[in-house]
Structure 1
Amino acid sequence: MLSCRGQNMGFCKWVSFIFLLLLPTLCNSSLNSKELAELTVNFLNSAKKQELVEWMVDVRRRIHENPELGFEEFETSKLIRTKLEDMGIPYKYPVAVTGVVGFVGTGRPPFVALRADMDALSMQEGVEWEHKSKIPGKMHACGHDSHVAMLLGAAKILQEHRENLQGTVVLIFQPAEEIGGGAQKMIEAGVLENVEAIFGLHSSTTVPIGVVASRPGPILAGCGFFKAVISGKGGHAAIPQQAIDPIVAASNVVVSLQHLVSREADPLDSKVVTVAKFEGGGAFNVIPDSVTIGGTFRAFSKESFSQLKQRIKEVIVAQAAVQRCSATVDFLLKEFPFDPVTVNNKELHEHFLSVASDMLGSHNVRDIQPSMGSEDFAFFTEAIPAYYFFLGMKNESRVLLERGHSPFFTINEDMLPYGAALHASLATRYLLEFHPSSLSPKGKINDEL
């Protein structure tokens, strides 16, 4: 320890200042590449221990039996808080109604975040098994129950190896991914304050078990929804000239909307417009007064997305007018906020490749094509450097897994150790390998935690 007295005071202050500047480098150089790889493998070995696997399976099944919709995840949140308390991990609650934010590590910068979504879907489960949903009309049909279990498993690993954490891991348990808006509300609540990077994952029925897939740049599309009411004049089906038929008008609208992609879009600029709802009429011999249509539109850039939104409204209104009908268009922003494009940070992609290759072997780390699916993790990617990847659970020797949002969707629980270990490794090695941007005490966890 330096002793600063008399004329040495200025020199000592200078040395202390230089030490603080070098501290991140000194800390981050504590492990070489071989030791970092060994740490990653050790995390996977820890995650595969029978006790932890059974613990994660139990958590996942308990959540699966009691699915809750967006911003209603009170019991799920309670279970998460109980598990964090059992591990001695401090947390904040409530955040964005039902969200939970835990903290593992020093409580000081740098901060890196891991995210899991918690909500279920409004669907009746069609799979008959011991842990089938106990709530009629609700089920976990997209794997969010497993996402929570894997992040809690990662929390266990991180807490047991917290001596390796040269900073703080923020555990984000997010509500309302399916209905949209959950991530945005978490951000508005301040969960990303001082956070330098965030990682998220999603289970995949098309990627093999023990394999991960992702890519740098855009990976999931921006997404919006629309509803239009096309109004005419009802009448007898035998006397159509005395009516103004909204069904014919709506049919022309549907066909014209398809031209927005096939005739107006650059073939190299991927877009989708799908009309998935068409409601009108209640009798075979009556022309209704109005027809309601609805659907989704998607694109991979803000410019393309905005242009598509504008043209959807123009086409619906104009085509309805051609058939002497009127039309109103609603983009349902209150119910379904637009999801931005999910864009993976290129530097974090290199970090992901390094960590995943050390853990699984480079042959089990695959590139993936961008998908027109969407994710409200996109709001995190807009706010800070972020990375999203897919975790495989397909097993060729077992029954084919149904894709997400199917009433017959199931989880291959063998993937849980991989997800937990990857979460823990990505965060730990980020703190070890990346220089913290600030040593300010303002990044400390609040005393109330």
Structure 2
Amino acid sequence: MSYRKLISFVLILYLLNSCLLSCSSSLTSDGLSQIPKKILTLAKKHEFFHWLVGIRRNIHEHPELGYEEVETSKVVRAELDKMGVSYDHPVAVTGVIGSVGTGQAPFVALRADMDALPMQEMVEWEHASKIPGKMHACGHDAHTTMLLGATKLLKEYEKELKGTVILVFQPAEEGRAGAKKIVEAGVLKKASAIFGIHVANVLGLGKMSSRPGQLMAGSGRFEAKIIGRGGHAALPQFAIDPVVAASSVVLSLQHIVSREADPLDSQVVTVAKFEGSDAFNVIPDYVTIAGTFRALSPQSFKQLKERIEQVITSQASVHMCNATVDFLEENYPPFPPTENDEALHEFYKNVVVDMVGTENYLETLPVMVSEDFAFYKEEMPGHFSFVGMQDESHLPMASPHSPYFEVNEESLPYGASLLASMATRYLLESSSLPNKSSENDEL
């Protein structure tokens, strides 16, 4: 072959290869850094967005409380069936665990919560809750929709996944520790990492936020019965007043944080319930108080719990009353603090920057709200983050757990894309590491 013919042949091969690359629909054809933007572009397409909105509105109209998500799980399973995604149900009472990919290692998990709150919706719109006294007032309808959206995106490129994505549609996040039951079910033993997200009303649309290490507080509940001796309000000398005792308890509980805790170690004790007599002229036999306590570190959380019981029983005794304290752990297991794995946070941040740019990533401060996502972190490395939905051209959105809470549906493609991108990139990067195969490397 002449030199001129050789050059022509090489040029033809180069042009053919370039054409194949530019025309490819492969997620990885443009490199890891292009995956998030490519997935977001797909999720923002009109047909896909319309599908997401339809699912979210359907779930929103039919809210169900923890471990009652029968109809919600039906919606999830119906969509998974349409996609040809295999799943197990029921897991942890009403949960659904699906999978996309090769069925082999590496494994990564994505989680969404499905439950609603016992609250009457006050937002007047066409798709408001049709169930009196129940409402999706924390965005779990959006989270479930986002994970279904991520599943659809992952299924589209399933042949390119270098491992398996475990899809966790979890029940009962709101105080009932559905995540704990998922972990106890043993369905995540093969996962080497798990990612979760939450919509944020204070974060602008298209922005994303998280932090390494401490993110959210651990939380517990308490209820105390302070028992005295009832009597007529005009004759207090013949009674032992539990109202005065309970009032002293409430004030003394605040001193635990203000006088005993390190000011740099955030803690909260809130008494949110105080019930006595219904009559204005009767000293009741007993008073019931109840509330929540929170701390960012496990050590502080344990100490706070111990001091709450000591303060309640001691202050009741000072006022000649008796007290019993119940931490309600059988029905409401305490949530551990949520801490983000530092390596996973760096990974997450890289994905976010590639998806929406450095200017749309914000590092948040720790917050005193809690999340049962913390139970997953006790089983494997985990990362939790926030997806913004505040449209800056509108009035500030209501906070979670408000009857006026709303979801900006424009945030749905962002959440779906973030989940799908993190799973895809995690598997690609994990599969490039030295092989650590074992006898349990299949789902």
Normalising TM by the smaller chain, what interval? over 0.9
Among residues 170, 173, 197, which one is paired with 1:174 in the alignment?
A: 170
> Distance in 1 between the 2:203 and 2:27 partners?
32
How does 1:46-57 map onto structure 2 within 5 Å?
46-57=42-53
CA shift in 2, pair 1:61/1:437, >3 Å: farther
> Distance in 2 between the 1:40 and 1:125 partners?
35
How does 1:22-41 map onto structure 2 within 5 Å?
35-41=31-37
Query: Are the equivalent residues in 2 in contact too, given 1:65–1:133 (CA < 8 A)?
Result: yes
Residues 1:325 and 2:321 are matched in the alignment: yes
Match of 1:71, SS?
A: coil
Query: Are the equivalent residues in 2 in contact too, given 1:225–1:296 (CA < 8 A)?
Result: yes
Among residues 420, 424, 435, which one is paired with 2:420 in the alignment?
A: 424
CA shift in 2, pair 1:313/1:391, >3 Å: same
Give the C-alpha shift of residue 336 in structure 1.
Answer: 1.1
User: Which residue number corresponds to residue 61 of structure 1?
Assistant: 57
Among residues 104, 114, 118, which one is paired with 2:114 in the alignment?
A: 118
Query: Are the equivalent residues in 1 in contact too, given 2:27–2:38 (CA < 8 A)?
Result: no
User: Which residue number corresponds to residue 250 of structure 1?
Assistant: 246
Q: What amino acid is the match of 1:237? A: A
Residue by residue, what CA displacement relative to the aligned partner does 1:368-397 show, whole Å, maximum 9, x if unpaired?
000000000000112100000000000111
Query: Are the equivalent residues in 1 in contact too, given 2:27–2:160 (CA < 8 A)?
Result: no
User: Which residue number corresponds to residue 92 of structure 2?
Assistant: 96
Among residues 335, 339, 348, which one is paired with 1:339 in the alignment?
A: 335
Residues 1:234 and 2:233 are matched in the alignment: no
Residues 1:385 and 2:381 are matched in the alignment: yes
Residue by residue, what CA displacement relative to the aligned partner does 1:119-158 show, whole Å, maximum 9, x if unpaired?
0000000011100101000010000000000000000000
> Distance in 2 between the 1:282 and 1:82 partners?
50
Residues 1:132 and 2:116 are matched in the alignment: no
CA shift in 2, pair 1:380/1:258, >3 Å: same
> Distance in 2 between the 1:75 and 1:444 partners?
31
* Structure 1, unaligned runs of 5 or more: 1-29
Q: What amino acid is the match of 2:316? A: A
Q: What amino acid is the match of 1:228? A: A
* Structure 2, unaligned runs of 5 or more: 1-25
Residue by residue, what CA displacement relative to the aligned partner does 1:158-184 show, whole Å, maximum 9, x if unpaired?
000112210000000000000222000
CA shift in 2, pair 1:42/1:31, >3 Å: closer
Give the C-alpha shift of residue 32 in structure 1.
Answer: 8.5
User: Which residue number corresponds to residue 13 of structure 1?
Assistant: none
Match of 1:152, SS?
A: helix
Give the C-alpha shift of residue 438 in structure 1.
Answer: 3.5
Query: Are the equivalent residues in 2 in contact too, given 1:198–1:386 (CA < 8 A)?
Result: yes
Match of 1:317, SS?
A: helix
Residue by residue, what CA displacement relative to the aligned partner does 1:172-225 show, whole Å, maximum 9, x if unpaired?
000000022200000011121110000000000000000000000010000000
Query: Are the equivalent residues in 2 in contact too, given 1:141–1:405 (CA < 8 A)?
Result: yes
Q: What amino acid is the match of 1:359? A: M
Among residues 400, 404, 410, which one is paired with 1:408 in the alignment?
A: 404
> Distance in 2 between the 1:252 and 1:432 partners?
59
> Distance in 2 between the 1:40 and 1:207 partners?
20
CA shift in 2, pair 1:436/1:344, >3 Å: farther
> Distance in 1 between the 2:435 and 2:262 partners?
41
Give the C-alpha shift of residue 31 in structure 1.
Answer: 9.5
User: Which residue number corresponds to residue 347 of structure 2?
Assistant: 351
Query: Are the equivalent residues in 1 in contact too, given 2:295–2:368 (CA < 8 A)?
Result: yes
Query: Are the equivalent residues in 2 in contact too, given 1:100–1:172 (CA < 8 A)?
Result: yes
Query: Are the equivalent residues in 1 in contact too, given 2:228–2:285 (CA < 8 A)?
Result: yes
> Distance in 1 between the 2:404 and 2:140 partners?
15
How does 1:192-341 map onto structure 2 within 5 Å?
192-341=188-337
Match of 2:303, SS?
A: helix
Give the C-alpha shift of residue 360 in structure 1.
Answer: 0.4
Q: What amino acid is the match of 1:410? A: E
State, as a whole percentage, how many aligned pairs show the same letter. 59
Give the C-alpha shift of residue 437 in structure 1.
Answer: 6.5
Match of 2:414, SS?
A: helix
User: Which residue number corresponds to residue 9 of structure 1?
Assistant: none
Residue by residue, what CA displacement relative to the aligned partner does 1:265-285 show, whole Å, maximum 9, x if unpaired?
111111101111100011111
Q: What amino acid is the match of 1:443? A: D
Residue by residue, what CA displacement relative to the aligned partner does 1:26-65 show, whole Å, maximum 9, x if unpaired?
xxxx999961122221100111011111111000000000
Compute the RMSD of aligned alpha carbons.
1.4
Q: What amino acid is the match of 1:329? A: V
User: Which residue number corresponds to residue 442 of structure 1?
Assistant: 440
> Distance in 2 between the 1:300 and 1:164 partners?
40
CA shift in 2, pair 1:114/1:286, >3 Å: same
User: Which residue number corresponds to residue 188 of structure 1?
Assistant: 184
Query: Are the equivalent residues in 1 in contact too, given 2:27–2:157 (CA < 8 A)?
Result: no
Give the C-alpha shift of residue 439 in structure 1.
Answer: 2.4
> Distance in 2 between the 1:302 and 1:38 partners?
39
> Distance in 1 between the 2:302 and 2:396 partners?
38
CA shift in 2, pair 1:50/1:133, >3 Å: same
Q: What amino acid is the match of 2:386? A: F
> Distance in 2 between the 1:153 and 1:267 partners?
43
Residues 1:372 and 2:355 are matched in the alignment: no
Residue by residue, what CA displacement relative to the aligned partner does 1:286-313 show, whole Å, maximum 9, x if unpaired?
1000000010000111111111000000
User: Which residue number corresponds to residue 392 of structure 2?
Assistant: 396
> Distance in 2 between the 1:426 and 1:46 partners?
15
> Distance in 2 between the 1:197 and 1:207 partners?
26
Query: Are the equivalent residues in 2 in contact too, given 1:110–1:438 (CA < 8 A)?
Result: no
User: Which residue number corresponds to residue 154 of structure 2?
Assistant: 158
Aligned residues: 416
User: Which residue number corresponds to residue 4 of structure 2?
Assistant: none
Normalising by structure 2, we get a TM-score of: 0.92
